[in-house]
Structure 1
């Protein structure tokens, strides 16, 4: 990546160092940074997280920072970014007030990756059996962070609409930016129906929806599916696997839980079907995108399909019923014509919804429009101004108190 200092300087403050081989969120983060580089930005990444052996070698300038540390103030003032991106609302809570004080003219963006509050609400509804409650304390924190920023990047149009309708966020504070694909795969060069065998599930096990999907699949779907497809195996891959996940391995029936795979796309291309039995979650699903990129038909649930493609664009009935999920999987595994139909729907979804060319220019234009009219943009954002004046001061004073306590 270019190392020259540019008048346009972007700083990503990341909750974790990007791990594109471990999470779809890590890949998306790097896609955004590469997009900014293509637009002439100089890029820096800063994170309070400890480095990991799996983080990407990005080529960007990387900085270790700390929470509740006034040393960040001098550092960020010297860096003088023109654009600051907070990766998750927690980073805006920790560092937003400091950036606002030291770099008042920097455009601030919040990248939610997915709407964390929606994912949490769905998880609680699933566990409790109670109706979905969107208005919980985490939602208050996340929406407040959105209001304090100049712009929020959303990966799901469904979530953009939800924020406008239920949380009254204005359209001019939200920007839809899906996963971006620069080059479509040549499906005809990928392994075909007869060259593939067995089933795959994939997804990092730090992500709660993936842990739940593995548990639900192993206990509810796999016994039904194994009876329909005797001799067919299902291999589950995921970074940060642990005993709680590996205990679902059952070699006698062909269910195998593996750890991470170094190349998710190459691994997936060996399998006949990709399964994404998600019962809760939010945002777009990298595992489904990987299926489309490798020509591997994906069987998923309504939650998995949300924001990826319309319900009538999958080639089979979407369902979270274990019997229906197993029946759909067995049918597609055996029927080559149906398999090809579903594979082709994935290719069309890539073409219509994830084009880099279509979305990249609009994203940069949106940022530069906000930057060119920043005072008027912020004057318009009355709730953000109120929150920065009142509620966010609590974050500042708590941080200053912790810092003083640590020094003592």
Structure 2
């Protein structure tokens, strides 16, 4: 009899719209390979971009917030493992899972460290460096409480592992590093990619519902593209992303070559047409799917240190000429003038471009080959399920928070449910 996995999604997976959607499909594939029978449940609405999970033989279930019908659903399902897609989902459903299925392993996929992203956003608005005070925000407190309440949290970036263990002293036994899980890029695919001479224009891409992506586009418009365009008057910047709003489309300006292209049906197609990818993110966390897309399609990038964080190692800095930066698929800098200079250099110098392109292929195969991670996570899940009682006894803070949550969140949810009748 197969083991059962219930995934409770913050949203339904949209791999064409966001890196989070691709990440979720990677996790689903991993658990299918571990021979789990999977049910994906979410209270969110589907969209035209929602992936058809039936293609993977994954059962789907619509659920409600603050409604006892979820209790009936999960008590009948009796999953062996429950995966929460982001801490907000664990807050909403974790206490119900603990009540109805106390012996189920509770796993949190953080997607990225939301508290870190919020800290950087606040610091950017204030025009200062990120401080401990910024980091200790309400989002961080909620997220870390969720990490403690779960038996295991999947962390996508080594940099975030460092912050959680060193700054917040979280027991490493509660965390597991699991980056993007990718197929190695093979020589045949590399040889079939468009060459430097066959490509033109710059590209940036990202879901516009994600605040760091909109900020990056605005930063490009105001501070970086005006430095690039005079040097390359025939070059254009193509901006792709799902869910563009009016505040995004109004940035479109053809005479400046600043073109809002909207949703990309096939990211690979548009990325392979471009010569250079620009990713000047000024706040954010986790790993950046746009850089993965660029490397997979042989497109070198110029990126900020925040965009590069965790991608090449866990301490990328604003140093374009260090030994570390020579292994990057482009250049890392936070200075707008240096950013523009490196973008022009990549765009005009074929040898530099080809060298950086090869770096990208090496990074993909060295750091994100799924075969390097699949056995370790499978073993970790099995070990925890085998001795879950002992594992939970060692997580006393988690026991305290679980107890308090069952008292506070439970009765708030019940009050909301009664109010909604």
Q: Any residues of structure 2 matched to 1:120-135 within 5 Å, and which? A: 120-132=118-130, 133-135=134-136
Task: Measure how far apart 1:315 and its partner are.
Answer: 6.3
The answer (yes or no) to whether the contact 2:301–2:331 under 8 Å persists in 1 is no
Q: Give the SS at the match of 2:135.
A: coil
The answer (yes or no) to whether the contact 1:65–1:72 under 8 Å persists in 2 is yes
Which residue is 2:320 aligned to? none
Q: Give the SS at the match of 2:253.
A: coil
Indicate how the Cα distance of structure 1 residues 144 and 392 shifts in structure 2: closer, same or farther if over 3 A, else same: farther
1:404 aligns with 2:418: yes
CA separation in 2, counterparts of 1:190 and 1:145? 43
Q: Give the SS at the match of 1:269.
A: helix
Q: Give the SS at the match of 2:5.
A: strand
Indicate how the Cα distance of structure 1 residues 98 and 195 shifts in structure 2: closer, same or farther if over 3 A, else same: same
Q: Any residues of structure 2 matched to 1:184-223 within 5 Å, and which? A: 184-185=185-186, 186-223=189-226
The answer (yes or no) to whether the contact 2:300–2:330 under 8 Å persists in 1 is no
Q: Any residues of structure 2 matched to 1:346-385 within 5 Å, and which? A: 346-385=360-399
CA separation in 1, counterparts of 2:46 and 2:328? 39
Segments of 5+ residues of structure 1 without an aligned counterpart are 1-5
- What is the number of equivalent residue pairs in this alignment? 402
Normalising by structure 1, report the TM-score.
0.97
Q: Any residues of structure 2 matched to 1:8-407 within 5 Å, and which? A: 8-59=3-54, 60-132=58-130, 133-185=134-186, 186-310=189-313, 311=316, 312=324, 313-314=327-328, 317-407=331-421
The answer (yes or no) to whether the contact 1:13–1:91 under 8 Å persists in 2 is yes
CA displacement, residues 47-92 of structure 1 (integer Å, 9 cap, x when unaligned): 0101111100111111000111011101101001101000011100
CA separation in 2, counterparts of 1:361 and 1:263? 31
Normalising by structure 2, report the TM-score.
0.94
CA separation in 1, counterparts of 2:117 and 2:355? 31
Instruction: Point out 4+ residue stretches in structure 1 off by more than 4 angstroms.
Output: none
CA separation in 2, counterparts of 1:246 and 1:75? 42
CA separation in 2, counterparts of 1:206 and 1:386? 35
CA separation in 1, counterparts of 2:216 and 2:377? 33
Segments of 5+ residues of structure 2 without an aligned counterpart are 317-323
CA displacement, residues 357-407 of structure 1 (integer Å, 9 cap, x when unaligned): 011111111111111110000011100000011244211110011111112
CA displacement, residues 86-114 of structure 1 (integer Å, 9 cap, x when unaligned): 00111000000000000111100110111
CA separation in 2, counterparts of 1:7 and 1:193? 49
The answer (yes or no) to whether the contact 1:241–1:258 under 8 Å persists in 2 is no
Q: Give the SS at the match of 2:252.
A: coil
